Structure 1
Amino acid sequence: MWKRKPKSQPAPPPPSEDGPGSTPASASEAIVQPGSAFLSGPDASAPPLSYGTDPSDPDPSVLAGIASGLNLALPPETHPPLSSFPTQDACLAHLRLLTAFNRLKTETGYCDGLWDIWDARASTTTTNYMKHTDTRNDLDILIRLREKRWAIYLGRAVDRYAAWWRTFTPNMLLESDMLTRARYEGFPESNPMVWREEMLLPLDVLLVWHAHMLNPRLYLEDCLRYGHNSFWAAGIPWSIINTAVIGPTFDYVVSDACKAHWEANTNLAWRNEDDPDAKDVPCPACSKFVPIPWTTCGLPPGYSVAKQLDVVGQGLADGRLAHACPSCGIKITHESLRAAKFRDDIQASIHSNHAIPGTILDLDTGLPKPLQYGSDDTSGECPDRLFPTRLARRGLFAHILEMFKPGSKMRPSMMAVRDAMEENFTGKFADSKNLREVMNFPGHEDVTTFRPSLDGKRQTRKMMSRYWENSSPFSIDLVGCVMRQATFTEKMCKQLKWLHFPTTRDIVRNLLGKYARFFEIIAITSPTEGKVAVPTLDVDLAWHTHQLSPQSYFVFTLSKTGTFVDHNDKVDEDRLSTAFEWTSKMYQERYGEIYSECKCWYCETVRVMALPTTKMFGIGKEEKLLEAWHAASKTNNVPMPPAAESAHVSSHPAVHTNETTAQRTTIRPLRSEFRNRLEETHSKARKKASKTFKADSVKRMGPRGEDKTSFWGKDIAVDGPWASALAAVTTSAMYPAGPGFVNMGPGAVGSCATGTCGGATGCGSELVGMCSAGRVGSAWFGGKAGCTGMGEGGFDF
């Protein structure tokens, strides 16, 4: 691991369990060594093993056996690549890497004085920027200071990842390439690059890369656009990464040659905190480089005005970037940088024929399917995936250029771009003659009436999603991705602690069996309207491990579903819960077993939801299954949260949706129906549990109202296991884009432009959510790109 370069006094060691005054505890997890990452998957019809808590301390000899048993050698290359399945060894190596990530986060947040953010600012009553007395206690202030250090660190880490990304020679995808097989359709069959030990990355960069790969379609799009084919095919090098994670405390240790290789290739320091405190940023208007600090929130120790607590800031990694260009006077903001990114991509499309993000993969399948011009030349609707490119070139570019001119009345932002798009769709390009000029490609010369097609609208919104709240060169805000993924990591490493168990391999064998079954359910969702499969935590570990070998995952999902199955990391929290209810019911019906082996109030309520509302004679098979599970002796060992964590619903992608007043009016009935059903079913489950407890003195479920999430040393209440933890605990204003929230509704950031919405269109925020259109969000699990999850007539995918 790393140590901070001291500025005055050395910082105390960070606590291992996020307690404000605790000291690091030595982790006694298994030391796992390298193995074959993939092989054929288990039979989905075979019953997986059952989970149980093991309160005993791990036997060192058992852990040593696990340590010596891993084999992460790559399988022989084949062409085309074969479908493969994650192994126990790969999952165990992944758990070890997650533990190293979690330690990095803890050490960074608790590093007193990092970027001149000192814990001493929490030692007295503070006065906030509104000049009102802040009555929060010292711990609440410490939490914000720790959170701020980590937020700055992540902003810098994403920039360092982008610098590493640029060291791979780009071969930008052209629109003309999208007509060919070799460069475009054949991309997934590329030969993988060979990793060497000296090519290893700093842990912060590895953390961001890890989060990027856990958005499979977006990661494929980015690699395809930049021409990083062998890099995409290789995936994460488990063997050499696992070797670098050493010792019972999971130190990340690499050679001096590795550090020298990184520094020579990127011109960056090995350690994040050793890079400069400012970055030279090209002005979005005049292109002159402007040095901008990463944060303005730091204050020297003992500063006389240290009572004021500012965690928002105006730096690059802060929430409200504001820096005047000394050359042209324009105010550089996050909004202007995002609009400049869009402008630059359009310019590259015009001058160099580069493909624009969001127009590269097929909407429905997520595959690089070659374009076919003239395939619909009689209907007047153009299915061309490049419609938004032509619209941007001919209808939007002039508006965007105008924003950046000195003295312009328009402030550069994606909101202004959306407003210009609305004018186009409802005005200029609502007219057939003008729209014909935008289309202007072979096969449509004789069409007399043009109108934007449904696919054209969906594709336009998909393009816009790449720029909302994202100025990075990638298709998604990776700071938010890392933050959301960290909630999963926290549960794996600090709550479940499977690496502590002597039965670790049995646990991993179990979760791989469940993952095979889970993918059978995903295969059902592909042709089924409106259904989304949601994993439990154990299944999600296997799923994430699989995605970290992108080529293998691509071939596997294509063979199972005919699509490239996505893993969207933004799902409306209520939508996630209803989808989890459906997944649990499908698993139970298909395999005759309980899906979430957990005794928390929520999982028991979901199980009761699967029971039929009426029965003709006696109890149904569903209720018999539930009673048999509770009666089984092995169920006595099943965890009962909040006393012990369990592998129930994986809620790391859950976000809270901020809806406009108009949107809220439409969505409220849908949310009320979900909440009311949850309340009614929980009441039934509680009554059933009460009767059973009186009969055999065995509790069936844990209490409600005690669900909490740990955040920088404090347990904070959440509604339940399905709810967004980040929405409950983070200070959204300190981030360029709040990681626990999305916006929805007319006029909101990330909402669709008027004229681009339709029954199956997509939401600009890439959200799997709830909306009046009644559609599901961003091609999650191979579905359509839509903006919503719950609408009239049920789910629609």
Structure 2
Amino acid sequence: MSHLVPRHLNDLHASIADNSDLIYPHTASALHPKAATAEAQDKVPDPTLFASLTQPTRGDSDLPTVGECAVHLELLEVFHKLRINVIRSSALDTTFGVRIEKRAVFQRGWDDAKRDYVMKPGHLKDETWGSRRRQKWSYFLEIAVGRFRVWIGKMDWFLKALGLEDRTRLPYLPPLDVLMVWHAFLLNPRDYDQACRRDSLTYVAALRFPWEAVHAAINRRDWKYTQPKASADWTQERANMEPDLFQFLGWAGKPSNGLSAALARYGVQPKAPIFSLDEALDTQGLNSRDAAFLAMLRQGELDKEANGLLVANVQRQAAFVDKMHAQLWIRSPALEGTLRRAGDRYDKFLRLFKLCPGQRLVPTLDIDLVWHTHQCSAAAYRASVEQRTGVFLNHDDKLGQPVLKVELERTRRPFFVHFGEDYEKCFCWECEMIASVLEDDDANGQQESLSTLTERVRVNVEYHRCVEILRRPPAL
């Protein structure tokens, strides 16, 4: 079709953008009154996208399904919200001892009574307040990594004792902070593989990522993750941990609690070793889970170097989480088409490793999403890529931006030569919707006029934007 020529696609995008006005909450309500209803919001994304999650077989392909990639987008939104909540939480300011530092100064000012200039007391603004509040995320991750180490060890022992016939199924979902650390660790497949071998985590290493259970645990309206009761009970009884770390830290940081002194040290620079706080802690008054929490903090001091690598994994993934949040494909009217095309391009990306042996290949944003989804099932990923490419493909997320830019250009050329397609492209809602409409028209043997096509895309994108705007709580 002539519309598929890249120059024509750019023209289509421009024509739609020219006709699109900025949408605000009051105009969104006027444009699409029903967009604010629960029924409308429950249909974005389309629930049928997740149908493949419950199918007993995966079909002929060993690659991630559209449903799994869609759940991955949901999970990234949950991670994004957790980070924002931790940084903005005033309760965690108290917990981690992050306080406004007031510096008393004397400033020259006019005194009406004395009718003269005098030196008056005052306070300088704390210029470090914002950066120190953001540092809470690092403190939260340090604790999350310690909990992950406890959880993964006890889960592997539990799976071994359980002796399940299906060794790829995770019986209980982890707490959100643990899930986030595990997810980031899986995206460094060589490190994860070596750690599982070193620590004899053979049962955990064989697991498939529990996409279906994760999807069921996420509220798509507010991106809240809730552990199923059975999983929360396992976390408390078997792992001896609190299911919700964010909530627990808000409670534990209150001065009346025995753990507050240990937690408040995080905001003190340089941080005091937890071993020096033993005398200040009323360890006799702690229950078994609080005592285990304190022991985990102490162990974190001993394992600081190794734990730091896992903290860095999550922090590096924050850039990808932010990119996916900015694209917001999970709310896009073209989500199914975006993920289907991404899966096809990822398949070609893997084939390129065999066609260009020894060359470093860098993924585009859509391919990277599918690649990440694939890596989340570690053993299945290894078998799949080795069968397809003949080698184990590590995912190196430590490469700097200058290197990525050069390697992306080197990947673009062979991709176009072998598959006749542009490698880099625009992934905005409009462009993705255009691609989906054109594919549908092509499949039906139709070709719409430019004006008809652009109007269809504009109305569809506008409606979905209204749904998203009206789904969010009012700005404070």
For the aligned pair, the TM-score class normalised by the smaller chain equals: 0.5 to 0.7
Distance in 2 between residues matched to 1:584 and 1:126, nearest whole Å: 59
SS at match of 1:68: helix
Q: Could you say which residue in structure 2 is the equivalent of 1:478? A: 310
SS at match of 2:90: coil
Query: Which of 237, 240, 255 lines up with 2:210 in the alignment?
Result: 237
User: Residues 217 and 225 of structure 2 are in contact (CA less than 8 Å); yes or no, is this contact kept in structure 1?
Assistant: yes
Distance in 2 between residues matched to 1:591 and 1:126, nearest whole Å: 67
User: Residues 314 and 323 of structure 1 are in contact (CA less than 8 Å); yes or no, is this contact kept in structure 2?
Assistant: no
Using the TM superposition, give the Cα deviation of residue 86 of structure 1 relative to its aligned residue in structure 2, in angstroms: 0.8
Question: Does residue 121 of structure 1 match 2:105?
Answer: no
Question: Does residue 267 of structure 1 match 2:224?
Answer: no
Q: Deviations over 1:469-519 (max 9, x none)?
A: 7334xxx711000011011011101x1011221111111112112211211
User: Residues 361 and 407 of structure 2 are in contact (CA less than 8 Å); yes or no, is this contact kept in structure 1?
Assistant: yes
Q: Could you say which residue in structure 2 is the equivalent of 1:203? A: 176
Which runs of structure 2 are paired with 1:305-384 in the superposition (5 Å)? Answer: 312-315=269-272
Q: Deviations over 1:40-69 (max 9, x none)?
A: xxxxxxx9xx89688688973893571234
Q: Could you say which residue in structure 2 is the equivalent of 1:70? A: 50
Query: Which of 505, 508, 511 lines up with 2:336 in the alignment?
Result: 505
Distance in 1 between residues matched to 2:335 and 2:49, nearest whole Å: 12
Q: Could you say which residue in structure 2 is the equivalent of 1:591? A: 419
Question: Does residue 107 of structure 1 match 2:94?
Answer: no
Q: Give the letter aligned to residue 331 of structure 2.
A: H
User: Residues 192 and 232 of structure 1 are in contact (CA less than 8 Å); yes or no, is this contact kept in structure 2?
Assistant: no
Instruction: Structure 1 unaligned segments of length 5 or more: list them.
Output: 1-46, 128-134, 172-189, 278-290, 299-309, 316-320, 328-336, 342-468, 601-631, 638-797
Q: Give the letter aligned to residue 580 of structure 1.
A: L
Q: Could you say which residue in structure 2 is the equivalent of 1:151? A: 138
User: Residues 296 and 313 of structure 1 are in contact (CA less than 8 Å); yes or no, is this contact kept in structure 2?
Assistant: no
Cα 1:136–1:245, aligned 2, differ >3 Å: closer, same or farther? farther
Question: Does residue 543 of structure 1 match 2:371?
Answer: yes
SS at match of 1:249: coil
Distance in 1 between residues matched to 2:136 and 2:379, nearest whole Å: 35
Using the TM superposition, give the Cα deviation of residue 211 of structure 1 relative to its aligned residue in structure 2, in angstroms: 0.5
Q: Could you say which residue in structure 1 is the equivalent of 2:73? A: 95
Q: Could you say which residue in structure 2 is the equivalent of 1:86? A: 64
Distance in 1 between residues matched to 2:348 and 2:212, nearest whole Å: 27
SS at match of 1:471: helix
Cα 1:501–1:202, aligned 2, differ >3 Å: closer, same or farther? same
Q: Could you say which residue in structure 2 is the equivalent of 1:489? A: 321
User: Residues 97 and 266 of structure 2 are in contact (CA less than 8 Å); yes or no, is this contact kept in structure 1?
Assistant: no
User: Residues 83 and 555 of structure 1 are in contact (CA less than 8 Å); yes or no, is this contact kept in structure 2?
Assistant: no
Cα 1:599–1:147, aligned 2, differ >3 Å: closer, same or farther? same
Give the TM-score normalised by structure 1.
0.39
Which runs of structure 2 are paired with 1:760-779 in the superposition (5 Å)? Answer: none
Using the TM superposition, give the Cα deviation of residue 94 of structure 1 relative to its aligned residue in structure 2, in angstroms: 0.6
Distance in 1 between residues matched to 2:104 and 2:181, nearest whole Å: 34
Which runs of structure 2 are paired with 1:671-682 in the superposition (5 Å)? Answer: none
Q: Could you say which residue in structure 2 is the equivalent of 1:563? A: 391
Q: Deviations over 1:740-782 (max 9, x none)?
A: xxxxxxxxxxxxxxxxxxxxxxxxxxxxxxxxxxxxxxxxxxx
Q: Could you say which residue in structure 1 is the equivalent of 2:403? A: 575
Using the TM superposition, give the Cα deviation of residue 257 of structure 1 relative to its aligned residue in structure 2, in angstroms: 3.6
Using the TM superposition, give the Cα deviation of residue 101 of structure 1 relative to its aligned residue in structure 2, in angstroms: 1.0
Q: Give the letter aligned to residue 249 of structure 1.
A: D
Using the TM superposition, give the Cα deviation of residue 536 of structure 1 relative to its aligned residue in structure 2, in angstroms: 1.3
Q: Could you say which residue in structure 1 is the equivalent of 2:293? A: none
Using the TM superposition, give the Cα deviation of residue 244 of structure 1 relative to its aligned residue in structure 2, in angstroms: 0.6
Q: Could you say which residue in structure 1 is the equivalent of 2:286? A: none
Distance in 2 between residues matched to 1:205 and 1:118, nearest whole Å: 23
Using the TM superposition, give the Cα deviation of residue 168 of structure 1 relative to its aligned residue in structure 2, in angstroms: 3.3
Q: Could you say which residue in structure 2 is the equivalent of 1:246? A: 219
Cα 1:339–1:66, aligned 2, differ >3 Å: closer, same or farther? closer
Distance in 2 between residues matched to 1:255 and 1:191, nearest whole Å: 21
SS at match of 2:343: helix
Using the TM superposition, give the Cα deviation of residue 547 of structure 1 relative to its aligned residue in structure 2, in angstroms: 0.7
Q: Deviations over 1:79-99 (max 9, x none)?
A: xxx970111111001101111
Distance in 2 between residues matched to 1:240 and 1:253, nearest whole Å: 11
Distance in 1 between residues matched to 2:366 and 2:212, nearest whole Å: 22
Q: Deviations over 1:449-472 (max 9, x none)?
A: xxxxxxxxxxxxxxxxxxxx7334
User: Residues 208 and 377 of structure 2 are in contact (CA less than 8 Å); yes or no, is this contact kept in structure 1?
Assistant: yes
Using the TM superposition, give the Cα deviation of residue 339 of structure 1 relative to its aligned residue in structure 2, in angstroms: 12
Q: Could you say which residue in structure 2 is the equivalent of 1:439? A: none
Q: Could you say which residue in structure 2 is the equivalent of 1:288? A: none
Using the TM superposition, give the Cα deviation of residue 589 of structure 1 relative to its aligned residue in structure 2, in angstroms: 2.5
Q: Could you say which residue in structure 1 is the equivalent of 2:345? A: 514
Query: Which of 142, 145, 169 lines up with 1:194 in the alignment?
Result: 169
Q: Give the letter aligned to residue 73 of structure 1.
A: T
Using the TM superposition, give the Cα deviation of residue 262 of structure 1 relative to its aligned residue in structure 2, in angstroms: 0.6
Which runs of structure 2 are paired with 1:356-755 in the superposition (5 Å)? Answer: 470-472=305-307, 477-493=309-325, 495-525=326-356, 527-528=357-358, 531-598=359-426
Distance in 1 between residues matched to 2:375 and 2:333, nearest whole Å: 27
Question: Does residue 293 of structure 1 match 2:262?
Answer: yes
Cα 1:550–1:517, aligned 2, differ >3 Å: closer, same or farther? same
Provide the aligned length of Structure 1 versus Structure 2. Answer: 353
Cα 1:143–1:252, aligned 2, differ >3 Å: closer, same or farther? same
User: Residues 156 and 202 of structure 2 are in contact (CA less than 8 Å); yes or no, is this contact kept in structure 1?
Assistant: no
Q: Deviations over 1:68-121 (max 9, x none)?
A: 34121365599xxx9701111110011011111111111111001315257761
SS at match of 1:86: coil
User: Residues 156 and 204 of structure 2 are in contact (CA less than 8 Å); yes or no, is this contact kept in structure 1?
Assistant: no
Q: Could you say which residue in structure 2 is the equivalent of 1:220? A: 193
Q: Deviations over 1:194-244 (max 9, x none)?
A: 333xx1211111111111111112212222333333322222111111001
Q: Could you say which residue in structure 1 is the equivalent of 2:463? A: none
User: Residues 96 and 250 of structure 1 are in contact (CA less than 8 Å); yes or no, is this contact kept in structure 2?
Assistant: yes
Cα 1:296–1:562, aligned 2, differ >3 Å: closer, same or farther? same
Distance in 2 between residues matched to 1:325 and 1:212, nearest whole Å: 31
Q: Give the letter aligned to residue 313 of structure 2.
A: C
User: Residues 170 and 226 of structure 1 are in contact (CA less than 8 Å); yes or no, is this contact kept in structure 2?
Assistant: no
Higher relative contact order at CA 8 Å, sep ≥6: structure 1 or structure 2? Answer: 2
Using the TM superposition, give the Cα deviation of residue 590 of structure 1 relative to its aligned residue in structure 2, in angstroms: 2.3
Q: Higher helix proportion, which one? A: 2
Distance in 1 between residues matched to 2:230 and 2:309, nearest whole Å: 32
User: Residues 245 and 253 of structure 1 are in contact (CA less than 8 Å); yes or no, is this contact kept in structure 2?
Assistant: yes
User: Residues 173 and 228 of structure 2 are in contact (CA less than 8 Å); yes or no, is this contact kept in structure 1?
Assistant: no
Q: Give the letter aligned to residue 185 of structure 2.
A: H
User: Residues 236 and 548 of structure 1 are in contact (CA less than 8 Å); yes or no, is this contact kept in structure 2?
Assistant: yes
Q: Give the letter aligned to residue 156 of structure 1.
A: I
RMSD, aligned α-carbons: 4.1
Distance in 2 between residues matched to 1:339 and 1:95, nearest whole Å: 34
Which runs of structure 2 are paired with 1:51-62 in the superposition (5 Å)? Answer: 60=40
Cα 1:65–1:295, aligned 2, differ >3 Å: closer, same or farther? closer
Distance in 2 between residues matched to 1:314 and 1:514, nearest whole Å: 47
Q: Give the letter aligned to residue 554 of structure 1.
A: R
User: Residues 112 and 119 of structure 1 are in contact (CA less than 8 Å); yes or no, is this contact kept in structure 2?
Assistant: no
Q: Deviations over 1:507-555 (max 9, x none)?
A: 1112112211211222344x33xx3111111111010011112222112
Q: Give the letter aligned to residue 272 of structure 1.
A: L
Distance in 1 between residues matched to 2:68 and 2:147, nearest whole Å: 26
